[in-house]
Structure 1
Amino acid sequence: MSSRLPEPGADERDHSERLLQHVRELIVSQGPLSFAQYMERCLYAPGLGYYSAGKAKFGEAGDFVTAPELGELFARCVANTLRPVLDALGDDADFLELGGGSGAFAEAVLKAFDTDGPMPRRYLILEPSADLRERQRERLAATLPPAVAARVAWLDRPPEQEWRGVLFANEVIDALPTTRFAIREGEVYEEHVALSGEGALLRVDRPADALVAGAVRHVERDLGEPFAEGYRSEVLPQLPYWMQAVAGTLTHGVMLFVDYGYVRREFYLPERRDGTLMAHYRHYAHSDPLWLPGLNDLTASVDFTALAEAGNSAGFGVAAYLPQSQFLIGSGLPQAFEDAYLQATDEAVRYRLAQEVKRLTMPDQMGERFQAMLLARGLDVLPLSTELLAADQGGRL
C-alpha cells in the first residue's frame, strides 16, 4: 500500500486484525467469500465492521465528508423540494431517512420543517449501526426542541405496514455490498476473497452463478454489446430486491436518492475496465479493499440506470434525474444561501457559507460527481418546482 496514506495507530491495527481474523474464520469454514460477502463483513460485522464500530467516520475528523456535514444548506434544499409532497399527503405523512450518518442531516432538515412547515408526523431513521444510532440520538436530543425531537424514532427494519410520505437516502446505495465481476473467454466470473497459504487475503475469480451472470448479461444487452475480454466492474443483482424491501410499503409519496455515480453507458465505459470500487481512509482514496479491513469505507459508484430499473420494478416512476448542482439550484439554493448569508454574524461564517456552496455545486467537487434521483408513486399531481422539472435529465437514463 502506498506510503502516502496516514499511518494507522496501534489500536486501529488491533481492530483490523480482529476483523481480519473473523474473515479468515469464515473463509476456512465455508470457502472463499464473494466480494459482496467480504464487503458486507468489512462494513457491517457487529462490533467489528467499519460502520458498526466506534471510530469517527464523518467530517474532518473521520474518513470522508458528506454533503450534510458541510453545513445546513443541503438539508434546507431537500426540505424545500420535499415540503410540497408532505403538504399534499397530509398530517399522516412520515419522513424516512435511510442511514442517518452523524445525524447532521436530520438535525438540519427538522429545523427547516419546524421553521416553515409542514412537520412530518414522524421522522424515522433506519440505521443498522448501534453506534451511529446512539450518536444520532444524543445529537438530536441536544440540538432540537423537545417537541421536534419527540417525533424522531429509529427502526431496525423497513416499515412492514403501508405508509405515506417521503424516503431520503444520501450516499446509501454506494455502500451496498457490491458484486465484482470479470469477463474471461466470454464467460462471466465473480470476484471472491480467499486465503493464501500464509493466511493473507487475496482476490480470486470463480464462475458466476445464474443470478450474477444474468445481471451482467442484462447490462450487456442494454448497452448493445458484450464486455471486452478482461473487463472487470461492479453490478448489484440484489438491487431490485433491496428496493422492494425498503420501499415496497410506501404507497403514496416520493423517494429521493443522492449519490455519486453515472448513467449506465457512462458507468461501463470501455476505459473504466477495473470498475469504480474505492476505499476511503482519513480523506484519502485508494484502490486496495484488502488493506486493513475494517478501517476503510468501501464504496462503488451507482449505476443510476439500475436504480431507475429497481424503482420501476417496485412500482415507482422516475420523476426527475439530474446532477446535484442542478438539483440544489432547482431546490432553492440561491435563496437559501442569501438568507443564511444575511443572517451570518461575521465574515468567517460568510466565508464558510461560500465554501459550502462551492463544494456542493462545483463540477470538480460534488456538483457533477453526485446525482439526484426522485422516484414517485401514488400521487395524482407531482408537486415539484418548475425549475427542478426543467432541469430533468431523465432521458439520459
Structure 2
Amino acid sequence: MTTLPAPAPEALAVSTTLAQKIADEIAAAGGWIPFSHYMECALYAPGLGYYAAGSRKFGEAGDFVTAPELSPFFAACLARQLAELLPQTNGVIYEFGAGTGRLAADLLAELKALGVTPTAYRIVDLSPDLIERQRETLAEHLSKVEWLTELPAEIDGVVIGNEVLDAMPCELVHWTGTGALQRGVVVENGAFAFDDRPITDKRLAELAERYDPRLPGYVSEISLANRGFVRELAARLARGAIVLIDYGFSEREYYLPERRMGTLIGHYRHHTVHDPFYLPGLMDLTSHVDFTAVAETGIEAGLDLIGYLNQAQFLVNCGLSELLTRLDVTDTVPYAKAVSAVQKLMSPAEMGELFKVIAFGRGVSIDWLGFIDGDRCHTL
C-alpha cells in the first residue's frame, strides 16, 4: 500500500476545520447530504476548500500538472485557433478557472506574435489564492486582464475552459438492479460515510433511468453542474465561441460495464486516491466528463456544435508540427525536456487520447482550424 505524504500541521488544521464544517452541514440537513454538496464544500468552501484555500495545486510541487504547465506549445496551438475566431467577435477572451495564469500569459504572448491582440482578457475565478498567483504570472499583461467573480450578462467573444468541467460537483448514483439510488454522505462513528437514498430530483431520476447499466452494484457519476454550466454559457453567448478541454468520454464509453465504480478520484501530491473523504480541502476531487451530455446541452440551447476530438488531433490541426521547428536542437537538455513535455500532451497513454476538445459557436464560421481533421462528433 502506498504511503501518502503527511500534510503540514497548519494544512491538517485547515482540513480538520473543513471536516467539522461539513459535518455540521450534514447535521443541519437532517443527517444526510448529496455527494455533490460534499464535493462542493470540499473544493470550494470559502477559505477552507481545495480551490479556496492556500495549498499549492499545480506543477511538480502540487497535486497535478495541467497541459499549459507542461508546455507552452499547448497555448501556442490554441492561440492559432483563437486568432481565427477573435476577429469574428468583439475580441474578448473569457477564461474560466485560469489556474496559475500560465495559459493566459502564453496565449497573450502568442496572439501578439500572430498580430491578433484581444481587446480584453477576462478571467472568471473564485479562488483568491489562485487569482493572486495569476496576477503574478500575468504581471506583463495586466493592462489587458480583468478578473470577474461571476458570468457577464452578455458574452461577445471566445470562452475557454481547460480542466474546468471535471472540477464541478457531480452526483453519485448507485444502480441496484431494481432501481437507482442517489449516493449521499453521512457521519458514522465520527467519520464520513456513503449512504444511499431514493432519488427525489426529477431530472436526476430521468438521467439515472436513461443510463441504467442493468448491473447491480454499478456506481457512477451524473453531472447536473456540467449541464447547467453549458446552458448558462449558451444563454449569455450573444456571439462567439466556446472551447472546452478536459478528460472524459462519450456516453457510451462512460457507462461501460467494466467501469462499474465510476470515474471519481482524488489527486493528492501526484498520487491517485480513491477515498473521497481523505483530507477534505487538501485533496482535489474530480470526475471524468460525459461529453455526450455536454454536446446535447449545447445543441438544446441553440449553439452550433463545431467539433469534438482528442487533444492530440486538435494540437496537430493547429500546427504543432510547425511550431516544434522553433526548438533549438543543439541545446540538448532544454530540447529533450521540451520534446518530453510535448509527448505527454500527444501520447495516447498520457493526455493525447483521454483529453478531448469540444467546441460550440454562435454567429461565427463553423469551419475551424482545430477541427479540420479527425472530428468525432458522430461518436457522441
Query: What TM-score, normalized by structure 2, do the two folds share?
Result: 0.96
Residue type of the alignment partner of 2:119: R
CA distance in 2 between counterparts of 1:294 and 1:355 reads: 32
CA distance in 1 between counterparts of 2:232 and 2:51 reads: 21
CA distance in 2 between counterparts of 1:163 and 1:42 reads: 30
- Which aligned segments of 4 or more residues in structure 1 are displaced greater than 4 angstroms? none
Out of 137, 144, 151, the residue aligned to residue 151 of structure 1 is 144
**Cα gap change, 1:119/1:86 in structure 2, threshold over 3 Å: closer, same or farther?**
same
Paired residue for 1:229? 216
Q: Deviations over 1:300-325 (max 9, x none)?
A: 00001011011112221221111111
Moved more, 360-369 or 23-32: 23-32
Out of 346, 349, 353, the residue aligned to residue 364 of structure 1 is 349
CA contact (8 A) 1:85 1:383 kept: no
Query: What TM-score, normalized by structure 1, do the two folds share?
Result: 0.92
CA distance in 1 between counterparts of 2:182 and 2:259 reads: 17
Matched, 1:355 2:340: yes
Q: Deviations over 1:190-236 (max 9, x none)?
A: 1111011x22111111111123111222334xxxxx53222110001
CA contact (8 A) 1:239 1:310 kept: no
Q: Deviations over 1:267-313 (max 9, x none)?
A: 10001011000000000012100111111100000001011011112
How far off its partner does 1:250 sit? 1.2
Paired residue for 2:115? 117
Q: Deviations over 1:330-371 (max 9, x none)?
A: 1111111112x04x7832221121011101001111011111
CA distance in 1 between counterparts of 2:21 and 2:159 reads: 34
Out of 197, 216, 221, the residue aligned to residue 206 of structure 1 is 197
Residue type of the alignment partner of 1:42: A
CA contact (8 A) 2:42 2:50 kept: yes
CA distance in 1 between counterparts of 2:363 and 2:107 reads: 24
CA distance in 1 between counterparts of 2:303 and 2:115 reads: 26
CA distance in 1 between counterparts of 2:330 and 2:307 reads: 37
CA distance in 2 between counterparts of 1:71 and 1:119 reads: 22
Residues 31-46 of structure 1: pairs in structure 2 closer than 5 A: 31-46=31-46
Paired residue for 1:396? 379
**Cα gap change, 1:152/1:286 in structure 2, threshold over 3 Å: closer, same or farther?**
same
Unaligned regions of 5+ residues in structure 2, if any? none
Residue type of the alignment partner of 1:152: V
CA distance in 1 between counterparts of 2:332 and 2:244 reads: 34
The number of residue pairs the alignment matches comes to 378
Residues 1-397 of structure 1: pairs in structure 2 closer than 5 A: 2-30=1-29, 31-89=31-89, 92-141=90-139, 144=140, 148-160=141-153, 162-196=154-188, 198-209=189-200, 210-220=202-212, 226-339=213-326, 341-342=327-328, 346-379=331-364, 381-385=365-369, 388-397=371-380
CA distance in 1 between counterparts of 2:232 and 2:372 reads: 28
CA distance in 2 between counterparts of 1:3 and 1:356 reads: 26
Unaligned regions of 5+ residues in structure 1, if any? 221-225
CA distance in 2 between counterparts of 1:93 and 1:247 reads: 18
CA contact (8 A) 1:319 1:375 kept: yes
Q: CA RMSD in A?
A: 1.5
Q: Deviations over 1:127-177 (max 9, x none)?
A: 011111111112211xx2xxx4211101111111x3321110000100010
Residue type of the alignment partner of 1:366: M
Paired residue for 1:223? none
CA contact (8 A) 2:177 2:215 kept: no
How far off its partner does 1:185 sit? 4.3
